[in-house]
Structure 1
Amino acid sequence: MEGLPQKYNFSHCCRKGDFERRLCFFHNKKADIGFLPPLPTLDPEEKCQTYKNNRESFLNNYVYEVSRRNPFVFAPTLLTVAARFEEMTKTCCEEQEKANCFRTKAEPFIYYLKALSSYQKNACGALMKFGPQILQFINIAVLSQKFPKIEFKQLTSLLEDVSSKYDGCCEGDVVQCIRGRSKVMSHICSKQDSISSKIKDCCEKKIPERGECIIYSNKDDRPNDLSLREAKFIESDNVCEKRDADQANFMAEFLYEYSRRHPELSTPELLRIAKVYEDLLKECCNMENPPGCYRHAENRFNETTEKSLKIVQRECEHFQNLGKDDLKYHYLINLTKLAPQLSTEELTFLGKEMVIALTTCCTLSEEFACVDNLVDLVLGELCGINENRNINPAVDHCCKTNFAFRRSCFESLEADKTYVPPSTSQGLFTFHADLCQAHNEELQRKKDRFLVNLVKLKPELAGEELWSLLADFTNVVEKCCKAQEPEACFKEESSKLAAKSQAA
């Protein structure tokens, strides 16, 4: 279209053709959408009237607003969100307490959108950075845990459809993405007797709802005749010969067998164990007595899981010892020191996501898998999906070196030594009386932004000093909003706080 490629800096993509053009657009998507205001919320009465007057225009506008704020979400997910939004609008417009109805019903599907957005972004990031094999391994782990009675041959056939779905969805080919998703779900439903006992109701639904239902269905029960360990990968004398005959298929089958036996482990942990096993065989198969070497594989797997478990326990201790807000500040400080190049919006979002992960998981019986899965998605958000990213080289190294072990790589990272803070405070210590009008949620957002920008300005400050300056900011707001002349009070207190931060 005339003028558009120049306006949005896509001219170089338009000179390419087909697949390369789509990929070029994908790599140049704006991952950071901090320039957009929060999703506009209409007055409930106005919302209902607009829907009544022109249903199509109302829904199109909603899809537009949601899509541009979620640039990497797959099309079928957006269609489901739109359908749920319409359902909610119909129901709430009949209610007396419309505002309350919208608020209550919107929460679960906003959470659903964010959860699937993170998962899809993470999967596509893995595909873009590490290639199709890692995505294949992620899908093997997820599907084998969900459908433990599926035969390996049947899983391999299903994975072909799953892979072509991701190709379309991750490249941004909307039509192929929708068709691919439908094909995967039809494949599962046509063989449901040999795949899972938990999806009968899902398979009776219409196509868009069917997919969501299967994704969120419970894991099937483990078959009674499934032994706790698969001996052929550890006790057999000809493991090295089998591996050498077809390494990709051999490793895929190992991951399938291990995953279906361990529903309690997270996807990243299953990938770590597969990597440990692969490295162990490289070592053992060059020895004089390979079976004597790889018979100790279980010990290596247990050691790997122990290390991951300790990281999760440490994070859940933070959750137990700090309140919700302090937990968030802890992560905002750490994440900003790690990747100060990211926008304030992205960093505050990541801090909140860490808190959601821990508050969701740290009280559950399946704490380990839940925390490890969700925190891995936050790291996926931090690493980003496309190439259009400016980030600390050490973080970049963790993001690109090894997908399965990036969590432990991040554990050992320190603050970015290459970062040069801004030379001025850029209005950080300029406060006005409008802070007194901010509601709790808005004020909380401003506190989060203040802390992140403070760390960006003063990355060398220790945690205690940063916490102290944040407490001072809270006290200034409280004091000045009670003062007779709030604006004058803010002016005076702002300069005191600026001076204190300078001296720190």
Structure 2
Amino acid sequence: MKQLKLIGFVIFLFFLTESLNLPTKPQDVDFSTTQKFIEENVGHITTIAFAQYIQEASFEEAEMLAKAMTEYKDQCLANSTLSQCLKLPQDVLLETICAMEGLPQKHNFSHCCSKVNDERRRCFFRNKKGDVGFLPPLPTLDPEVKCQAYKNNSESFLSNYIYEVSRRNPFVFAPTLLRVTDLIEEMTKTCCEEQDKANCFRIKAETVVRYLKGLSSYQKNVCGAYVKFGQQVLNSIYIVILSNKFPRIEFKELISLLQDVSSKYDVCCEGDAVQCVHGRSKVMSHICSKQDSISNNIKKCCEKKIPERGECIINSNKDDRPNDLSLKESKFTENEHLCEERKADQDIFMAKFLYEYSRRHPELSTPQLLRIASVYDDLLKECCNTENPPDCYRNAESKFNETTEKSLQIVQQECERFQRLGEGDLKYHYLIKFTKMAPQLSTDEVTFLGEEMVTALTTCCTLSEEFACVDNLVDLVVGEICGVNENRTINPAVDHCCNASFAFRRPCFEALGADKTYVPPSTSQGLFTFHTDLCQAHNEELQRKKDRFLVNLVKLKPELTDEALLSLLTDFTNLVDKCCKAEGPQACFNEQVPELVAKSQVS
């Protein structure tokens, strides 16, 4: 929040009037456009923030808050000198939430309302729950009902959607959720004109879900790095990303852009929806104002409107490495004065190394480039304390190659496993692995992680850029395990991997076995209680039940081998198939289940 205090509240007032002085930096020339966008989307922005902070709250309560904030906007547009208009928007929002009669007590956040300023904001942030298993399944409506609801009141229809999506994705940034709202509206308009509405909604919804999942994982991963490791790691991540994506960018321009990116992330990660929209717009305006020196490939993106412009730039392809850029930068391995340069300003020195190495190696993943930087930093710490530092660090390149080779081997093993097992058995492999490694995670969390691993490998293992793709996506799965909040704890081994080193989390997890501190439940907790509803389950739903059965079986019997667990899963599948074909399915279950229980006890 330091950036907000430095800049001052005037620039970031929720609703600036045209008469106020606007920033004059080139990247801020469309500040008023951003402001207009915020004014037009006050209801949705309020709903996002409220649903992410108070996930248990009802849609009606979200609507009440959105109405209150809209009235506040209208008051401030009419008279910006009112005392309530001189507060930061996030403070006004949280004050309004705390003032809603009975709400803090009803949803157990009174302790946050007793705090003020930064402490209150951080308290609301820590109140967010990444595991949303306590929420009911996302409501599904008949396509005709959807279309009629949209036709009757499109604003209420979209608000309800954004409320449901936001409370299930508490760490996704507001601009992304606003873009999801646009995609949902586009989908609804298109599908409601189709004859086969159900199929249209199904196909288009899959695209929206993939889009949301991908950005959710990425944003949680970066915010987890920021919260757990601080600003320096966040800066390193973005030096790599920006240098890798825009290899023509000059170092001075990169640092200038990095300042805008860094000032955006604290507010976005903590859920300050308004400032996050402003921050995203500022970064994208900066990039678009310097296209000649940053990238030739984003012209079409820069012509788009908020928030589509930002998503377009983020998803644009990497620029080609400039022809005059050598593969090696000798000044970091053959310079006799490296130790003096490093000592003069260690942060800038390492930033320059990351910049030069990242723009030269588009084939490497973000985590791998961070690992190389970590290896280099450790090497210089050692070498600069020797009698002849140049002789010591001259072999740095071989150290980098060794680190990359280790990571490459892990990726190759994963892709070979994918080719050998196929999607179904691959998922079972990871469900067993993750459950044994972190049995404290909920069943829903583990099944999600298994699905994400399969998605990563099926997406990447047939691509030419296999290594970077796999390493980047699997690192996001690791980020899901570690979570965003700094106080998240799972078990000692997992916690160590999450907190020891951001760059080396993945290799650390790769080496983990079963959690030795875990004590399984003394009873089966209904695992072997089967009902006829299993027979009504369609293919996808039945598969989910099989996945859940396997995860809960591992939690109950973590000592069993993978082969024994998979054998019991096969027995479960055969039992369901047999009993659902019988004249009396429930009687069949009652008769056959004891045999399955007995086998689980001797396996």
- Output the TM-score relative to the length of structure 1: 0.99
Counterpart of 2:502 in structure 1 is 403
Shift of residue 12, structure 1, vs aligned partner: 2.3
Deviation of 1:306 (Å): 0.3
* Equivalent residue runs for 1:230-241 within 5 Å: 230-241=329-340
Q: Secondary structure at the match of 1:29?
A: coil
Q: Deviations over 1:234-266 (max 9, x none)?
A: 111111111000000100110000000000000
- The corresponding residue for 1:419 is 518
What is the alpha-carbon distance in structure 1 between the residues aligned to residue 500 and residue 354 of structure 2? 21
Corresponding residue number in structure 2 for 1:103: 202
**Structure 1 position 5, deviation (Å):** 2.5
Question: Aligned match of 1:252 in 334, 348, 351?
Answer: 351
Partner Cα separation in structure 1 for residue 104 and residue 231 of structure 2: 30
**More moved, 305-314 vs 91-100:** 91-100
What amino acid sits opposite 2:344 in the alignment? A
Give the superposed CA RMSD.
Answer: 1.0
User: Are positions 1:44 and 2:143 aligned together?
Assistant: yes
Matches of 1:21 and 1:392 in 2, distance apart? 29
Aligned with 1:490 (options 589, 598, 603): 589
Instruction: State the match for 2:111 in structure 1.
Output: 12
Q: Which amino acid aligns with 1:21?
A: R
Question: Do 1:164 and 1:180's aligned partners in 2 also have CA atoms closer than 8 Å?
Answer: yes
The equivalent of 1:152 in structure 2 is 251
Structure 2 counterpart of 1:226: 325
Letter in 1 for 2:372: I
The one-letter amino acid paired with 2:332 is F
In the TM superposition, residue 459 of structure 1 has moved relative to its aligned partner by: 0.7
Deviation at 1:369, TM superposition (A): 0.3
Aligned to 2:126: 27
Contact 1:264 1:369 in 2 (8 A): yes
Corresponding residue of 1:468? 567
Deviation at 1:388, TM superposition (A): 5.2
Distance 1:211 1:117 in 2: 15
The 8 Å contact of residues 243 and 359 in structure 2, kept in 1 or not, is answered as yes
C-alpha distance after superposition, 1:8-39 (max 9, x if no partner): 33222222212221111112211110122332
SS at match of 1:317: helix
1:233 and 1:254 in contact (8 A); partners too: yes
2:555 aligns with one of 453, 456, 460: 456
Q: Which runs of 5+ in 2 are unaligned?
A: 1-99
Query: Would the aligned equivalents of 1:28 and 1:388 in 2 still touch at CA under 8 Å?
Result: no
Say if 2:225 is the partner of 1:126: yes
CA displacement 1:446-485 (0-9 Å, x = unmatched): 0000000000001111111101110000000110011111
The number of equivalent residue pairs is 504
The residue type paired with residue 279 of structure 1 is D
- The answer to whether the Cα contact below 8 Å between 2:235 and 2:258 also exists between their aligned partners in 1 is yes
Q: Which amino acid aligns with 1:30?
A: K
Residue aligning to 1:342:
441
**1:392-444 superposed Cα distances (whole Å, 9 cap, x missing partner):** 11000000000000111112111011111111101100111111110000000
SS of residue matched to 1:237: coil
Instruction: Find the residue that maps to 2:307 and give its secondary structure.
Output: helix
- Asked if residue 374 in structure 1 is aligned to residue 445 in structure 2, the reply is no
User: TM-score if structure 2 supplies the norm length?
Assistant: 0.83
In the alignment, the residues of structure 1 paired with residue 209 and residue 487 of structure 2 have an alpha-carbon distance, to the nearest angstrom, of 27
The aligned amino acid for 1:10 is F
Task: After the TM superposition, list the runs of 4 or more consecutive aligned residues in structure 1 that deviate by more than 6 angstroms.
Answer: none
The answer to whether 1:81 aligns with 2:180 is: yes
> Could you tell me which amino acid in structure 1 is paired with residue 142 of structure 2?
D
CA distance in 2, matches of 1:150, 1:305: 25
Structure 1 unaligned regions, length at least 5 = none
Partners of 2:226 and 2:489 lie apart in 1 by 20
Which residue of 1 is the match for residue 284 of structure 2?
A: 185
Say which of 353, 369, 374 aligns to 1:275: 374
Indicate conservation of the 8 Å contact 1:136/1:163, yes or no: yes
Q: Secondary structure at the match of 1:455?
A: helix
- 8 Å Cα contact 1:342/1:390 also seen in 2: no
Match of 1:93 in 2: 192
